[in-house]
Structure 1
Amino acid sequence: MADSPAVICLGEALVDRLGPPGGDPAVDRPVTDCLGGAPANVACGLARLGTPVALIGRLGGDAIGGAFTRLLDQRGVDQRAVQHDPDRPTRVVLVRRSQAGERQFQGFAGDRGQGFADQALALSDLQRVWPSLVERAGWLLIGTIPLATPAAKTSLGWVVADARRRGVAIALDVNWRPTFWDASADPAEGPSPAACTAIRTLLEQAALIKLAREEALWLFDVDDPLAIQAALPQRPDVVVTDGAAPLRWSIAGEQGSLAVTPPPQLVDTTGAGDAFTAGLLHAWGQPVGERIQFAAACGALVCAGAGAIDPQPTHNDVAAFLGAIS
């Protein structure tokens, strides 16, 4: 465990229950349970790449929570701000996969009537460990899912404000998931006006924003990174991804696009964006084009296996992949 993580990731740690290709994970078998959740994915990805990282989150006091604790320990992720809820379970997300490996989040399992542990992130517990955690951090990585419930939203807001006060840069992966706001929502539905307003508060504080093309259109009515950058008062760095289509960016005064190189074989796209984010933060000190290429390679390699965490590459894996396609 690193005493002073370079990156702190805040948000959900959960299980992605992958249904059989073309099937329904709620009823069809076999299913594959994979530890996941965007911030946890990024934390594990950064640790595997060699960046000191901490996770802020809340797990259930259940078997899944125990598995997560062991995984984070194995990866070397700082867990001092990981809380354990005695009443609420760790969330299980049902993930429907197409025959081609594309995924869609369709709902949850495991709620015993009090919601899930990630929704109850406790600010008082977090405040006790925060000063030692943030001492030398350069980045705070967040998403929008904690905005969907009051306790997690309060904790997120406090952490973002204090991180900015201390000079820590905010990296925001929008990661819009409507079912986290309304379990009955259509998984393809865009954010409501109220959700857009809440998300806007984070957009206006971020130094780096990563969002998918459809998220850009929902939130800004454009998908051009330079236009998104110009629409925000702090002029953040912006990356817009678009699945297998070329990704585009406006970073440090440079604009560009990059065709996405496919993985050796496509198994599951879950966690590809999170692996990209981990790679981008890990390689942030490199020239802009090189950091984008490195991040894109991380995203491609994670698609070659099931789940978001197990297939994550090492730095050497990424270097070998880039060498093979150059």
Structure 2
Amino acid sequence: MPHAVSVDIVCLGESLVTFVPSRPGRLADVPSFARGIGGAESNVACGLARRGHSARWISRVGTDGFGDHLLTEIAAAGVDVSRVQRDPRRPTGVYFRTAGERAVDPARVVGQDPVTGEGQGAEPPAEVLYYRAGSAAAAMSPSLMPREQLWSGRILHLTGITAALSDGCLALMRELTTPAPGRPLVSFDVNYRMALWQDKDRHGPSVLLALARGCDLVFVGEDEAGAAWGVRGADAIRAALPEPAVLVVKRGAAGATAYVRGPGGADTVTAEPAPRVEVVAPVGAGDAFAAGFLSGTLRGLPVAERLRHGHLMAAAALTVPGDLAAPPSRERADRLVALDAAAWGTLRCGPGRTHPVSSGPETAAVEVSEP
């Protein structure tokens, strides 16, 4: 039976209250923290709501003050939070982090910034401490999350993070990524987080690959595909994931490549370079890219334009210190997306502005971060 659609997109997943150090340094040395919110799926919902789409975030939070804070902040972005469940027995998750979101090998030497392409030298290790075990969201399961609510959007957006939270969450993800009559378009961001899969009996990479194969639209970073599956190169990633009708491979500074299966089964391959960005912090860029691409999908735009909208929203996230940034307005983003290839190639994105080098800010400026 067809699902009853009431919003453009439903995003399912855990959000946490985030504590970011007030200054650089080890967590052991930082004297104070700024409070924010973090969560891949709610980030996508907020980005789409700010772009003018109707977005609903579904999850579970505690009845504590942190749960109140999450609901208030996400609703303030224009997201419908009316289906979020409150759990009086389990807490809302929190986490602390330094500048980077993902832990890295301290011995790794980075030749290029992943966005700007400029040399960096040695990359220091990031610290991320999650306090989410036994959280309200970790109790999500097929029995607690009604299908009619999850299928109430034109698109259902999921990420691989949810599958790592608990056995109940994994069972829910397996149910939602199994093709079934009447389900909406299912979007899945792989979001491989190695730390979340440590000390688990189940094998994270193979679980994520199986989940992705059941979805209609999949986002995956070229770097995480290499880390999770040992697969490198966009074409090789497509060969490992032939099932989704649309596969988007994010390639950092090189841009992104989309594979779209046509009626005859052959792919149309579209690649778009990313603009150069003055990076403030890398957190949230992948979620913002997904929001931009999904916005273009909801609008029925050509694939190349969807990729460019993804790049612009990612640039906005990269130029602020937190997970969320005010994206370019739809009108200004549309003008930038319509630039020819040469003009698009001159785009430079910094805190507060995006404009082609050859044009003044009055002709092609767009705010990409909150003032």
**TM-score normalised by L of structure 2:** 0.74
Structure 1 range deviating more: 270-279 or 170-179: 170-179
Q: Which amino acid aligns with 1:108?
A: L
Q: Is the 8 A contact 1:210 1:239 kept in 2?
A: yes
Q: CA deviation at 1:11?
A: 1.0
Q: Is 1:144 aligned with 2:157?
A: no
Aligned counterparts of 2:70 and 2:336: Cα–Cα separation in 1:
28
Number of residues of Structure 1 aligned to a counterpart in Structure 2? 310
2:307 corresponds, among 272, 275, 292, to 292
1:218 corresponds, among 227, 231, 239, to 227
Number of the residue aligned with 2:330 = 315
Q: CA deviation at 1:133?
A: 5.3
Q: CA deviation at 1:277?
A: 0.2
Question: SS of 2:69's equivalent?
Answer: helix
Structure 1 range deviating more: 79-88 or 172-181: 79-88
1:16 corresponds, among 15, 18, 23, to 18
Q: Is 1:203 aligned with 2:217?
A: no
Question: SS of 1:295's equivalent?
Answer: helix
Alignment of 1:235-314 (within 5 A): 235-252=244-261, 253-263=267-277, 265-284=278-297, 285-314=300-329
Q: Is the 8 A contact 1:223 1:240 kept in 2?
A: no
Q: Measured at CA, do residues 235 and 270 of structure 1 come closer, stay the same or move farther in structure 2, by a change above 3 Å?
A: closer
Alignment of 1:172-187 (within 5 A): 172-182=188-198
2:138 corresponds, among 111, 119, 127, to 119
Larger Rg computed on CA atoms: 2
Q: CA deviation at 1:138?
A: 2.3
Runs of 5+ unmatched residues, structure 2:
101-112, 116-122, 262-266, 340-354, 357-363, 365-371
Q: Per residue, is there more helix in 1 or in 2?
A: 1
Q: Is the 8 A contact 2:27 2:98 kept in 1?
A: yes
Question: SS of 1:125's equivalent?
Answer: coil
CA RMSD of aligned residues (A): 3.0
Q: CA deviation at 1:103?
A: 9.7
Aligned counterparts of 2:305 and 2:85: Cα–Cα separation in 1:
36
Deviations along 1:107-153, one digit per CA (max 9) or x if unpaired, are: 33556xx62222112433322xx325524x22211111222211222
Alignment of 1:37-116 (within 5 A): 37-97=39-99, 106-110=127-131, 115-116=134-135
Deviations along 1:229-269, one digit per CA (max 9) or x if unpaired, are: 33345243222223333322223433233322134x42222
Question: SS of 1:81's equivalent?
Answer: coil
Aligned counterparts of 1:110 and 1:193: Cα–Cα separation in 2:
21
Runs of 5+ unmatched residues, structure 1:
184-190
Q: Is the 8 A contact 2:218 2:244 kept in 1?
A: no
Question: SS of 2:144's equivalent?
Answer: helix
Number of the residue aligned with 2:352 = none
Number of the residue aligned with 1:186 = none
Q: Percent identity?
A: 28
Q: Is the 8 A contact 2:47 2:288 kept in 1?
A: yes
Q: Is the 8 A contact 1:103 1:269 kept in 2?
A: no
Q: Which amino acid aligns with 1:141?
A: H
Alignment of 1:164-175 (within 5 A): 164-175=180-191
Aligned counterparts of 2:172 and 2:244: Cα–Cα separation in 1:
25
Aligned counterparts of 1:321 and 1:217: Cα–Cα separation in 2:
32
Q: CA deviation at 1:174?
A: 0.6
Q: CA deviation at 1:278?
A: 0.5
Deviations along 1:177-229, one digit per CA (max 9) or x if unpaired, are: 1222338xxxxxxx998112211221211111111112222344333334333
Q: Is the 8 A contact 2:24 2:98 kept in 1?
A: yes
Q: Is the 8 A contact 1:83 1:121 kept in 2?
A: no
Aligned counterparts of 1:152 and 1:235: Cα–Cα separation in 2:
22
Structure 1 range deviating more: 224-233 or 73-82: 224-233
Question: SS of 1:32's equivalent?
Answer: strand
Q: CA deviation at 1:316?
A: 3.8
Number of the residue aligned with 2:343 = none
Q: Is the 8 A contact 1:21 1:96 kept in 2?
A: no
